[in-house]
A and B are shown apart, each in its own frame.
Chain A
Amino acid sequence: MSNLLLGFQDVLTIATLSWVAFGVILGYVLGALPGLGKATGVSVAIPLTFYLQPAAALGMLIGIAKGSAAGSAVSAILLNTPGEPSSAPTALDGYPLARQGKAQKALKMGLFASVIGDFLSTLVLIGLAAPLARYALLIGPVELCAILLFSLTFIGGLSGQSMTKGLIAGALGVFFATVGLETETFIPRFTFDMLELDDGIKLVPMAIGMLAVAEMVVQAGNLKALDSDGGRIKDSMERADRVILAAEWKRCIPAILRGTFIGSVVGILPGLGASVGSFLSYGAAMKASKTPEKFGTGMIEGVAAAESADNAVVPSSLIPLFALGIPGSVIAAILIAAFILHGLTPGPLMFQQQPRLVADVYAAMLCASVILLVVGYTGQRIFALVIKAPLRLIIPGVLLLCTIGAYMETSSAFSIYIMLAFTLLGFFARKLDFSFVTFLIGFVIGPNLELSFRQTLQLLDHKAVNLVHHPIALVFILLSIVTVWWIGRGHRPRADSGNQSPAATPDHAVRDLTHNHKGG
């Protein structure tokens, strides 16, 4: 607690708050623009933070992630086109509300639900990460190796539509992490006599290429569809259509609290993603409602349920990262690069080695939630205009920032080549449904996995039977096998595929999700 107060002391300065606010605004705009999202925003912005103080840098990046999660509701409500797939259920009721002239009401509820979900989930992160990390410190290399293997299997199984392809992507990610000098023997691997590869492939240009540039290429190929929408919503001037009434708050608060709980739990589990959280929350709100048949026609609880869960996922997805050093989402994987860059190595030891910096991050996250409320409330009309900007004018700017960002990592054109190579890989991975999320997470945990595997072999004396002395490891190995078997038999929730149609009926969307859950 005293550390948290010191964290606020570090963060509550004009310079730091300005950078956090800049991150929130940037994220809000990126989230509102269909096709751009938090992953693109954070990966492009990492190089901008090279010269900032750690608290400001990390606060800004987390601000982008939070702002983007909230901003994606704007285009979902006004255009029926979610800024990110996780806002698809928001569109189911938000867009009908907007067509009834109640766009302002829907936008406000989306924002309030986002902020509440985000703030409460941040408190869950603060409350859970450190105690979990204490247990994590008791874990040895054998257990760690098994946990990493389980995480990769779990994430590979759930990201995308095919477990086989998810696991291939994860294995490729670990493989690319082996490029460079091997840490124990210093033997070069796959460097092809290029000095630039001795240190391995850098995460930032790789992530920028796979996430941001590849996404821009896909968007450039679909410009006609994206340019055709917009400007069809008329605002009502009635006060009752513009503000949230007390009766509506009464109906929405349970939906928000339920959504926050669902989003927080989904965020903690690696690989499920915000889409699963928002759809589950929407389904739960429908089930709890006395008038479920009205969902999809403009029920404000639908907006509240979806947005609260969507935003609750972001902070809670950092719990496995902080407690175990395992990134559970693509945002967490990218943030690892930023955390390390600013002197904070995610994992259980960071609470002992860098308590002040951890407190700074927590304080910045809480401040970002408040800033999100202020920025979202005051700037909603402006953001509603921003989404009408054609993507053809946005893509060139994003490409320039991506190139500068990749270049700055090593101050060499080689990073740009890496970025372009992984753009190609990211493009085909996206189109052929090979999970680039699993690839990136495999790449990030690859070095740790190899090191713990090496130590495991030595500790077990190269005999698998010695695993009986490591029951936790055995449990996780069994869990990995069960996960492969369970998902392989068709039991999977729909994760971030990016293909959810906003035009789908709520019944369809939710039934599809629960059907998949039940393994049908």
Chain B
Amino acid sequence: MRRANVISGVILAVFGLIMLVVVIPWQVAPGPDGMMSPRLVPSIMMLVVTLLSALLVFNNLRAIRNERAVAEPNPITAAELGALFRLGVVFALAIALYLWVSPVMGGAALILGALLVLGERRPVVLIVMPAGLLLAVWLLFYKVLGTGIV
């Protein structure tokens, strides 16, 4: 976790600095005289994030030096990153189908895609699950709750 802390600390510190120097002045007007600037709270928060991130980096670098590098497991496994990427692709596909074809197609693609990504290969499950879930959602919202979704 030490290395991960250093990397995440550097990323957060850089993020905080960019927000302070570039994004806050660009995205938030200074505000009228005599009132608290709308920039104040976001700036304080980003200052806190930057300083604490620098502290995180410093403490962990010092600990790494003192502890003598012991091989530690990566906090994020390849399988988890793979799942994140694959489910991201499924969501992208489902949103594209929702926007360009129909909400039902988007929903079906989300369920079917997620099942495939998670290793489900039985044809019956691949057909019944999307159909059953979409039917259940339709019943719940349109019949039980009496409202439309889209």
Contact = CB atoms under 8 A, between A and B. Distances in A.
Interface of A: 48, 50-52, 162, 164-165, 167-168, 171-172, 174-175, 178, 182, 184-185, 187-192, 216-218, 220-224, 391-393, 395-397, 399-401, 403-404, 407-408, 411, 413, 416, 420, 424, 427-428, 431-434, 449-450, 453-454, 457-458
Interface residues of B, number: 63
Interface in B54-113: 55-56, 59, 75-77, 79-84, 87-88, 91, 94-95, 98-99, 107, 110-112
B29 interface: yes
A187 B32 CA distance: 10
B131 interface: no
Contacts of B27: 188-192
Contacts of A432: 1, 4-5, 8, 75-76
Given A393-B125, A396-B111, A404-B107, 6 more contacts: A172-B45, A192-B27, A217-B87, A396-B110, A431-B80, A432-B5
Contact of A174 (B1, B35, B45, B147): B45
Contacts of B10: none
A311 to B, nearest CB: 28
B135 to A, nearest CB: 12
A404 B150 CA distance: 9
B133 A50 contact: no
B48 interface: yes
Contacts of A223: 118-119
B140 A48 contact: yes
B28 A392 contact: no
Interface of B: 1, 4-5, 8, 12, 19, 23, 27-29, 31-32, 35-36, 38, 41-42, 45-46, 48-49, 52-53, 55-56, 59, 75-77, 79-84, 87-88, 91, 94-95, 98-99, 107, 110-112, 114-115, 117-120, 125, 129, 133, 137, 140-141, 145-147, 149-150
B83 A221 contact: yes
Most buried by A among B4, B23, B79, B114: B114
A392 B45 contact: no
Contacts of B129: 393, 396-397
A222 B79 contact: yes
Which A-B residue pairs are the 8 nearest by beta carbons? A221-B80, A396-B114, A220-B83, A221-B83, A175-B45, A392-B118, A182-B38, A171-B48
Given A51-B147, A172-B45, A187-B28, A392 B133 contact: no
A129 to B, nearest CB: 29
21 contacts: A51-B146, A164-B55, A168-B53, A174-B41, A174-B45, A185-B31, A189-B28, A189-B38, A190-B42, A220-B83, A221-B80, A221-B81, A222-B77, A395-B118, A396-B118, A399-B114, A400-B111, A404-B141, A416-B95, A432-B5, A433-B1
Contacts of A408: 149
B110 A399 contact: yes
A351 B12 CA distance: 42
A435 to B, nearest CB: 13
Nearest to A394: B118
Contacts of A393: 115, 120, 125, 129
Given A165-B56, A217-B83, A217-B87, A407 B149 contact: yes
B42 A175 contact: yes
Contact of B29 (A187, A391, A400, A434): A187
Given A167-B48, A168-B56, A175-B45, A220 B118 contact: yes
Contact of B59 (A164, A178, A184): A164
Contacts of B141: 404
A94 to B, nearest CB: 29
A130 to B, nearest CB: 32
Contacts of B117: 220
Contacts of A165: 5, 56
A228 to B, nearest CB: 13
Contacts of B98: 413
B118 A164 contact: no
A413 B45 contact: no
Contacts of A51: 145-147
A346 to B, nearest CB: 22
A459 to B, nearest CB: 12
B80 A400 contact: no
A428 B5 CA distance: 12
B29 A397 contact: no
A48 B136 CA distance: 13
Given A164-B52, A217-B80, A432-B75, A392 B119 contact: yes
A52 B133 CA distance: 22
